[in-house]
Amino acid sequence: MAAEKGQKPALKRLYVETYGCQMNVYDSERMKDVLAPLGYTPTEDQSSADMVILNTCHIREKATEKVYSELGRLRERKAERAKEGMDTTIVVAGCVAQAEGEEIMARAPVVDLVVGPQAYHKLPELIAKAARAKGERLAADFDAEAKFDSLPEPKAEGVTAFLSVQEGCDKFCTFCVVPYTRGAEFSRPVDAIVAEARSLVRQGVREITLLGQNVNAFHGTGPDGKDWSLAQLLGHLAKIDRLDRLRYATSHPNEMTDDLIALHGEEEKLMPYLHLPVQTGSDRVLKAMNRKHTAERFLAIIDKIRKARPDIAVSSDFIVGFPGERDQDFEDTLKLVRATGFASAFSFKYSRRPGTPAAEMMAQIPEDVKDARLQALQAVLRDQQNAFNQSQIGRTLPVLVERPGRRPGQSQGRSPYMQAVHFESHRPDLIGEIVPVTICAASLNSLTAEAA
């Protein structure tokens, strides 16, 4: 059949594998959106995909290794498909692409295209060029504004959605690659964010999480031409009808402004959950990390926010085994954890990232010491998470129903505190509704409830 003008492009299958943070989850969806007009339909089955995109993460060593081992598997898959006359396009996107583009192309010739996080709007053009095997194979721009302006309206999947409002980071914590892979700090204009939020709500979204590497440093231009704070933006979004819940991640203690803290006490749609990475409880290590705050300052922020919103669930990130960390420094971390009481937390062994200041520091900590500290820290954090979940038993909580549960007749959703909640309902029509349920049991990772 001859190709006619205006004819739909042939159906092609697109598989996207996402590594790392929520920014990547958001970006993966946007890549699917931008490729849809080219005839790419998302598939869950990698083996049948005509295009595979690895949306990579560079934050810790293991994340990078995973990408290379996946590329090894993809080389075999591509060769097998080629035997059957099928072509497979392999794209590496995300932060590894940004940081190690040249190296990937040298190490993994199976890769057709390498594209950094600020160039996703160019994907259709880059893919066409790569197909002609003579064009740009590496796109690592740093122009976040161009990216957002050129991406199509996002398609919502389900009743919760991410919305990227801020990208990049100028903080330069000495352990972190983000300022190098995601570039300088950039905030989107308020109007563009509101338009995206409205579109998501029209598609059935009830809860939006605003995303940014430093989301509370948001300073986008408002409709009045002035820079708006995250608190102003959240207050404005809260006015959207049928948008019932707002969250934001990830924050930096130094940007935890009074207006944002106050909003937690005033705005019912703002969920009582705060992810506020502290990394360590030792002032010595905080200084070496270039965090520019002390343990006391972090505790003071938590105090203030609990005064504004007593039931707030606090979560954080920790790094153990940063260069030069002594036993006493680690004890200080445990002390901060006990003083705070976390509802959940992520903790990592320090991972040396080439090009960052900490990678060059003397006194790197031996692996076995890092292991022991991580285990000790995680034991305390696990106890706190368990205690927090147990403390919900007997309470009636509003749950946003997201999907059918694991077992027939069950529904699954989230509490205001981000806990996964399972309950019997036999009501598939509840998806997208906020229903009161009474918590009757709790485990480390979820709550069980009865319809109230």
Positions touching ligand SF4 (CB under 6 A) are 169, 171-173, 176, 178-179, 213-214, 252
How wide is the angle at C-alpha 155 spanned by C-alphas 149 and 158, nearest 5°?
Answer: 140
Taking CB positions, which residue lies at the least distance from ligand 5AD?
A: 317
Q: Is 281 in the site for ligand 5AD (CB under 6 A)?
A: no
Interacting partner of 136 out of ligand 5AD, ligand SF4, none (Cβ under 5 to 8 A depending on kind): none
- Name residue 419's amino acid: Q
For residue 237, count other CB atoms closer than 10 A to its CB: 23
Which alpha helices (H) appear in 84-229, and where do they start and end?
Answer: 94-107, 123-131, 144-150, 178-181, 190-202
Cβ-contact 277, 336 below 8 angstroms = no
DSSP assigned state of 120 = G
Shortest approach of ligand 5AD to residue 63 CB, angstroms?
A: 10
Interacting partner of 222 out of ligand 5AD, ligand SF4, none (Cβ under 5 to 8 A depending on kind): none
Q: Is 353 in the site for ligand 5AD (CB under 6 A)?
A: yes
Shortest approach of ligand 5AD to residue 205 CB, angstroms?
A: 25
Shortest approach of ligand 5AD to residue 370 CB, angstroms?
A: 10
Interacting partner of 169 out of ligand 5AD, ligand SF4, none (Cβ under 5 to 8 A depending on kind): ligand SF4
d(CA 52, CA 78): 10
Interacting partner of 179 out of ligand 5AD, ligand SF4, none (Cβ under 5 to 8 A depending on kind): ligand SF4
**What are the beta bridge partners of residue 93?**
55, 115
d(CA 340, CA 384): 10
Among 319, 377, 430, 439, indicate the residue that binds ligand 5AD (CB under 6 A): 319
Edge-to-edge strand order for the sheet containing 113-115?
40-42, 12-18, 51-56, 89-93, 113-115, 138-139
Cβ-contact 181, 98 below 8 angstroms = yes
Strand duo 410-414 + 420-424: pairing: antiparallel
Q: Is 389 in the site for ligand 5AD (CB under 6 A)?
A: no
Interacting partner of 214 out of ligand 5AD, ligand SF4, none (Cβ under 5 to 8 A depending on kind): ligand SF4
How far is the first Cα of the chain from the last one, in angstroms, to the nearest whole number? 60
Interacting partner of 319 out of ligand 5AD, ligand SF4, none (Cβ under 5 to 8 A depending on kind): ligand 5AD
Residues 202-241 that bind ligand 5AD (CB under 6 A): none
User: Under the rule (CB under 6 A), what is the footprint of ligand 5AD?
Assistant: 59-60, 175-176, 277, 279, 317, 319, 348, 350-351, 353
